[in-house]
Amino acid sequence: MNEIKLGVIGGTGLYEMPALEIVEDREVQTPFGQPSDSITIGRMHGIDVAFLPRHGRGHRILPNELNFRANIWSLKSLGVDTIVSVSAVGSLKEEYVPTHLLVPDQFIDRTRHRADTFFGDGLAAHVAFADPICGSLAKLVGDAAEMVHTEPSPGGVAAQVHRGGTYVCMEGPQFSTRAESLLYRSWGADVIGMTNLQEAKLAREAEICYATLALITDYDCWHEGEEDVDGAAVLEVLRQNSKVAQGVLAEAICRVAQGRQRECGCADALALALVTPRDLIPEETFERLEPLIGKYFDSPT
């Protein structure tokens, strides 16, 4: 079996790529419960890629119901060290037009009640999170996105890609009120979604490089003058976004397959983060987290 370094979290349509050979579906158990669904392993450009449908096949799980810890842990347990997340977002700025792509580099947390750390239970740890997205992976995703066209040429035009931006992660499942949407705009935020921040936090704790390809589906409710949006137009945006996302992923997988060096700090994120001395960490906690923290403690003699 090939090792699996690259994971993709996103919709189920993502792996309907002609060049992707589906190898198997794998059920993965984690100490934090069930991930959203089984993981589909696909092979492309000579590497294996693990696809996890964020909301489960058929879209059954609300953002606030997601078991983020199980999702990230399940990929980590397969050997994944790089996660590309694909998600739909609303635009908070005029210039981010529905169908455009954005690769965020910051987050603002507007969630509540979400389990978003592997630590606790007797082990304190604080990872650095000033730069919550892996810069080198974000560059790779941005470069891949700029290669993609909205439709196969000659009919298509190059995908519009915005690099960098602040993603407001809201609790949901309801969309924002207009007052909230205007508030986020006044903060200078760029896009709004419901899922990516917890993934980024847990990926960092698991020392996994993480970047997001945000697909802009609509203007959030701040935008006036969009009152004539009809269902057919929204469906067309979603269809186009899905095609473009597949194209970006295919390109990104190709780049990873060519040999990606992890020249970022993600692989050592816990080096300065673990606070509690080994002899004070409860054995049960240590054993559960051993795949993450074991390398930082001398093995017993």
Q: Which residues participate in catalysis according to the annotation?
A: 218, 220
SS3 for 88-150, per residue?
EEEECCCCCCCCCEEECCEEEEECCCCCCCCCECCECECCCCCCCCCHHHHHHHHHHHHCCEC
Is 134 among the residues that bind Zn ion (CB under 5 A)?
yes
Give me 103's structure tokens.
């690769």
Residue 8 engages Zn ion in binding (rule: CB under 5 A): no
CB of 269 to Zn ion, least distance (A): 9
Question: What are the helix (H) ranges across the chain?
Answer: 68-77, 135-146, 178-186, 196-205, 231-257, 283-293
CB of 207 to Zn ion, least distance (A): 9
Report if residue 123 touches Zn ion, rule: CB under 5 A: no
Shortest Å, Cβ 199 to Zn ion:
14
Closest CB 10 distance from Zn ion, rounded Å: 19
- The residue type of 134 is C
Which residue, 42, 111, 33, is CA-closest to 72? 33
Residue 127 interacting with Zn ion (CB under 5 A): no
Q: Is 266 in the site for Zn ion (CB under 5 A)?
A: yes
> Which residues within the stretch 176-215 sit at the binding site for Zn ion (CB under 5 A)?
209
Single residue of 12, 160, 264, 285 touching Zn ion by CB under 5 A: 264
Q: How many residues bind Zn ion (CB under 5 A)?
A: 4
Residue 103 binding Zn ion, by CB under 5 A: no
Q: Say if residues 244 and 252 touch (Cβ distance below 8 Å).
A: no
Torsions phi, psi for 176 (to 5 deg): -65, 155
Residues that bind Zn ion (CB under 5 A): 134, 209, 264, 266
